[in-house]
Structure 1
Amino acid sequence: MFFQKLKLRTSKNSHKISPATVSKSPATVSKSSEKRLRKEFQEEDHILKAHVRASLPSPENISRWEATVNGPVGCPYENGVFTVSVHIPPKYPFQPPKITFKTKIFHPNISESGEIFVDILGSRWSSALTINLVLLSVCSILSNPVEPFLVSNYAGRLYRKDRKAYEKVAREWTLKYAKG
């Protein structure tokens, strides 16, 4: 995958939020999860920033993030800006986050309601993954859909049957729904 090919470098001198800014999060995550999430949110990564921007809709709630994902160059989603919501479960990092596209998108791994169906958000989740790496992998699947595709997903069926037709529809939807 895209993020596996990259050597990610981070620095910890961000001024996005401070412990004082994030008061006690609702009793949705443990103190250790809250500390890890705060650290993850403050990470600075130049590769990530080129593709994804994360924010906290409410600084008081570290378990809900929003992000914008830029469509990668050379794929049908190029020049698109897609909004996703990130809901972090109480047992994070031992359970994966739930990431949902809020921007309408035509993709074999994404349902009509915006749910993402890839193994790292399910059976292949690892507590070693961070929200930022998952967001970068979401960016990666835009240019490289991963098997298996949703059986009931028209985008998946079209992707398998006629790649050019799939790319045409994906570009049209990107222009219509994901204008930067």
Structure 2
Amino acid sequence: MICIGNLKFGKFFTSRNSGKISPATFSKSSEKRLWNEFQEEDHILKAHVRSWLPSPENIFRWEATINGPAGCPYEKGVFAVSVHVPTQYPFEPPKITFKTKIFHPNISKKGEIFVDILRSRWSSALTINVVLLSICSILSNPVEPFLVSNRAARLYREDRKAYVKVAREWTVKYAKG
């Protein structure tokens, strides 16, 4: 941070007295970054994830589909997710939830995703697209810690074949392309 007189200059301009960034400054900065992320062209991303804005006026709300990766129980499934981005983004993580029912050790019955990059290990260096690709990867390789009361987590630990069977059944039943 650079100080000139009573003004402080850093990544954002701050007021003379508060030393805090105003919510409007966060929002505008977040909005600009999100537009850049949304317009990003990435062939790897497009092979696995498709995203769009339900309302072009609201860059803080995305919808996406994630294709189930080959060689896992979610193969050939298309999973709808909802992305809600806080106005403090990228300093706070997005809230991403599965709209499509899925049987997975890191995903609750309500579609909440429990992985460290969306919680304690969030980094402002991450982008929405990187997170969506990471979620795609997690479908192939669930990560610890799993949800304690999650039936999928229990089966994944105790009977991998039964877990794969149920996950495939749910994919066929709920994640049709």
- The CA deviation string for residues 121-170 of structure 1, in whole angstroms up to 9 with x for no partner, is 00000000000000000000000000000001000011000000000000
- Letter of the aligned partner of 2:157 in structure 1? R
- Shift in Å, 1:90: 1.5
Verify: 1:163 aligned to 2:143, yes or no. no
Cα root mean square deviation, aligned: 1.2
Q: Which has the higher contact order (CA 8 A, sep 6+)?
A: 1
Verify: 1:143 aligned to 2:137, yes or no. no
Residue from 148, 151, 160 that aligns with 1:154 = 151
Structure 2: gaps spanning 5 or more residues: 1-23
In structure 1, the residue matched to 2:20 is none
Query: TM-score if structure 1 supplies the norm length?
Result: 0.84
Give the SS at the match of 2:82: strand
- The CA deviation string for residues 79-131 of structure 1, in whole angstroms up to 9 with x for no partner, is 00000000001210000000000000000000000000000000000000000
How far apart, in 1, do the equivalents of 2:144 and 2:137 lie? 13
Residue from 86, 97, 102 that aligns with 1:100 = 97
In structure 2, the residue matched to 1:20 is none
How far apart, in 2, do the equivalents of 1:48 and 1:164 lie? 30
In structure 1, the residue matched to 2:33 is 36
- Letter of the aligned partner of 2:151 in structure 1? Y
Structure 1: gaps spanning 5 or more residues: 1-26
How far apart, in 2, do the equivalents of 1:175 and 1:117 lie? 23
In structure 2, the residue matched to 1:16 is none
How far apart, in 2, do the equivalents of 1:86 and 1:133 lie? 13
**Aligned counterparts, 1:66-105, within 5 A:** 66-105=63-102
Verify: 1:54 aligned to 2:34, yes or no. no
Give the SS at the match of 1:30: helix
In structure 1, the residue matched to 2:122 is 125
In structure 2, the residue matched to 1:4 is none
How far apart, in 1, do the equivalents of 2:123 and 2:60 lie? 18
Residue from 170, 174, 177 that aligns with 2:171 = 174
- Shift in Å, 1:32: 0.7
Give the SS at the match of 2:165: helix
**Aligned counterparts, 1:4-23, within 5 A:** none
**What is the identity percentage for the equivalent residue pairs of Structure 1 and Structure 2?**
84
Which structure has the larger Rg over C-alpha atoms?
2
The 4+ residue runs of structure 1 with deviation greater than 6 A are none
- Letter of the aligned partner of 1:92 in structure 2? Y
